[in-house]
Amino acid sequence: MGPIPSEPKYYLNKEQVNGLEVLRKFGWRIVCVRRPTVFDTTTILLNKHTNKLGVLGSDGILRISNNLKIRENSKKRDVTKINRTRPLQFRKTHK
């Protein structure tokens, strides 16, 4: 399973789908849907203008975080050039 499911809306609730529609107009896109279970998912978004990462909350509100890091299984690359077919992971770093 890749970082973005073929139908991400199956993993999002109504508020998240509505929030994502608005956020896409401002340059946000899904880079990862972490899904340990079908009912417990975390959706990570990236802004193409600022390269900031955020978590789309269950209430449909984006929470921008400086503690998120995206990593690959191979070499480190710029997050703006992520190939969607390669598996990505994210982890929360602690201060």
* 67-89 pLDDT tens trace: 887 766 544 445 555 444 444 45
Cβ(33)–Cβ(11) under 8 Å? yes
Distance CA 5, CA 40 (A): 14
Element (H, E) at 33: strand 28-37
Concatenated DSSP letters of 66-83? SSEEEEESSS---GGG--
**What is the average pLDDT across 12-40?**
89
Distance CA 38, CA 92 (A): 20
* 27-63 pLDDT tens trace: 999 998 887 776 778 899 999 999 999 999 999 999 9
Q: Which residue has the tokens 């929030």?
A: 19
In this structure, the dihedral spanned by the alpha carbons of residues 5, 10, 12 and 16, taken in order and rounded to 10 degrees, is 100
Q: What is the pTM of this model?
A: 0.67
Distance CA 33, CA 43 (A): 4
